[in-house]
Amino acid sequence: MVFVFDLDGTLLKKDNTISPNMVALIKRLDKNNHRIVFASGRMLISIRKIVEKYFQKMFPIIAYNGAMVFIPNKGIIFEKTLDFQTSKEIIELLRNKNIHRQAYINDELFSEEDNENIKFYSRHAGVEYKVVEDLIELIKHKNSTKLLAIDSPMKLDKLKEELENLNLNAEIFKSMNIFLDIVPKDVNKAIALKYLLKTLKAEHEKLIVFGDNHNDIPLFKFADFSIAVGNAVTELKKIADFVSKTNDEDGVYYALTEKFPEFLKE
């Protein structure tokens, strides 16, 4: 059995913590030889810090909404980056609209401004950042794994529509209501998970996934059983096999104990 957990809004509560009950439950699943995977829009370094903090060991990770896959003892086994022209076009558009933009290169975070948005993101993700004069100049030398726009939900909804109409060589996801993720074309959590399962020789194991946002939709369509937390977006709840309590009510823990008690025995 493979259990795939989204982090923000799903496993993590609003205060950015995982409940002791949930930590103990994941440790029990691991002890009972079930596979654990964490799949998030976050940077790899940010996910690794959370996993190490709570579990004192490492698990397979899908980072950047599927643009990077990591396996313990092997390191990064897959990475896809945005091509220069696509990144340039998006950064210029975001500049013209005065929308905060940041780029991720070699699992490092870069911003053109040292503003409240980047400071908030840095605190939220638990990562350092570097301020550069020109992101476009920076990505001439090394392609970006992901671009992120931060603004109001309404402004980002309009931006998402506009970017999609440009038919760019990129995928666009809302990962949180104020975050718009831009990753390479043909990248999502489900495609990355297929690659990971093939590498682990676990393609035929039953797949149970947990999520809350639009970037989890491909994962839900791919899974054998999908669980949306109570705070999930409507589009995800509609396709979920089960809708649980909210992340702040320990929705993942509740769903597992309700639907899969047989896997949780000591």
CATH number at residue 17: 3.40.50.1000
| Contact indicator for 6, 216 with CB cutoff of 8 Å | yes
Q: Which of 184, 209, 226 is at the close of a domain? A: 184
- Count of CB atoms within 10 A of residue 55's CB? 16
CATH number at residue 99: 3.30.1240.10
DSSP code at position 132: -
Mark whether 60 and 104 lie in a shared domain: no
Mark whether 88 and 156 lie in a shared domain: yes
Domain count, the chain: 2
Mark whether 69 and 98 lie in a shared domain: no
Mark whether 63 and 100 lie in a shared domain: no
Domain that holds residue 105: 84-184
Mark whether 74 and 143 lie in a shared domain: no
Q: What is the pTM of this model?
A: 0.93
Q: CB-based burial of residue 37 (10 Å sphere; 0-12 exposed, 13-18 middle, 19+ buried)?
A: buried
Mark whether 68 and 193 lie in a shared domain: yes
One pLDDT digit (tens) per residue for the chain, 266 residues: 999 999 999 999 999 999 999 999 999 999 999 999 999 999 999 999 999 999 999 999 999 999 999 999 999 999 999 999 999 999 999 999 999 999 999 999 999 999 999 999 999 999 999 999 999 999 999 999 999 999 999 999 999 999 999 989 999 988 788 999 999 999 999 999 999 999 999 989 999 999 999 999 999 999 999 999 999 999 999 999 999 999 999 999 999 999 988 766 66
| Contact indicator for 174, 58 with CB cutoff of 8 Å | no
